[in-house]
Structure 1
Amino acid sequence: MKESLRRRASGGSGLIGPAAFALLATMSFAAAAQDSGIAGYWATGTEGVIVQIEPCGGSVCGKLVTLRPGGLTEDRHNEDEALQDRPLCNLVILQGFSQESPTEWVSGEVYDPESGNTYSGSMTLESADTLDLRGYVGIPLFGRTETWTRTEEPETPCG
């Protein structure tokens, strides 16, 4: 009887402590992914283009919030003819990125409206204001990296 009381007082068989720790760690990781350091507005390498990155579901996504002056306004280069008339404004071009570490997001897709192609992607937060986006086909070795810079919310977003 005394042994049983001691076990209850110390957390039972010892499994509840590790289970609770695992649950808290999982919840903390999920919260960190939702409150990711990459959330915000990013100026791409293309003049005038800003992408808003934010949590979406259990991953991170990004949508076009400003477009290049004098550039495309519709998804003209999309392979799917039914989508070629859709507006680029607020189009999700980054999706499905999952947080692998405090500075890395992987296993996402990057849509390039200039070419109409979709690539596999990863993102690395190099500093609080610098984000490297890598788009690739197959493996990351066969790809290209763009460096984006954090910016303010645009005064006049498209749409």
Structure 2
Amino acid sequence: MRKVGVGVAALLAIVVSGKPSVSLSAEPLATEAALTGYWLSQDHDGVFKIDRCGQNLCGHLIGLRYDGTDVPHGHDGKSECDLLMLTDFQPMEGSNKGRWAGHILDPDTGHLYDSQIWTTQPDVLKLRGYIGLPIFGETQTWTRYKGPAMGPVCKIPDSVK
């Protein structure tokens, strides 16, 4: 039974449905240093490492929650372990200063969606995925991951709740 990606999948389902959400959250405080590091997804089913990739920020899925010993695979049959899911994040300007815009990959379909990341307080990251305009999306709250190292084949340790 596959459990991974429930939080990310739920975000993407709302993005695809076009359900508007009015709250875009508090004033962003995000600097590159505040965004980089390890992040636990909202539903605690994925750990991402956000780091510099060339001139931009990107994020790899380095921890997954799943049953058994078979690492989940994306639509293309490739392992989701160390999958590049957050790409091309660049700082935004003007009224969106403090936010970074880029893309998020849905590994089940291979589709890329627009997204933004920012922080409003230390150790809390906001990720908003959307189609076209940010109002047509939803924001997830991720927390800084400070738990134990990932198990074999990117498995999140059972002690992480």
* Equivalent residues of 2:104, 2:114 under 8 A apart: yes
- Residue 70 (str. 1) matches residue 67 (str. 2): yes
Say which SS state the counterpart of residue 37 (structure 1) adopts.
helix
Say which SS state the counterpart of residue 36 (structure 1) adopts.
helix
Q: Which has the larger radius of gyration?
A: 1
Q: How far is 1:154 from its partner?
A: 4.4
Q: How far is 1:48 from its partner?
A: 3.4
| Amino acid aligned to 1:113 | P
Say which SS state the counterpart of residue 94 (structure 1) adopts.
strand
1:1-150 matches, within 5 Å, as 35-70=32-67, 73-76=72-75, 84-100=76-92, 103-106=98-101, 108-114=102-108, 116-150=110-144
Q: How far is 1:68 from its partner?
A: 1.7
CA RMSD of aligned residues (A): 2.4
**TM-score, length of structure 1 as denominator length:** 0.66
Distance 1:95 1:40 in 2: 15
CA offset digits 1:75-125 (Å, max 9, x no partner): 03xxxxxxx21110101100001023773212x001122554321011111
Distance 1:119 1:112 in 2: 8
| Amino acid aligned to 1:75 | G
- Relative contact order: is structure 1 or structure 2 higher (C-alpha 8 Å, sep ≥ 6)? 2
* Equivalent residues of 1:125, 1:131 under 8 A apart: yes
Say which SS state the counterpart of residue 113 (structure 1) adopts.
coil
**TM-score, length of structure 2 as denominator length:** 0.65
Unaligned segments of structure 2, at least 5 residues: 1-29, 155-161
* Equivalent residues of 1:66, 1:154 under 8 A apart: no
CA offset digits 1:48-90 (Å, max 9, x no partner): 31000001010000000001222961003xxxxxxx2111010
Q: How far is 1:156 from its partner?
A: 2.2
Unaligned segments of structure 1, at least 5 residues: 1-31, 77-83
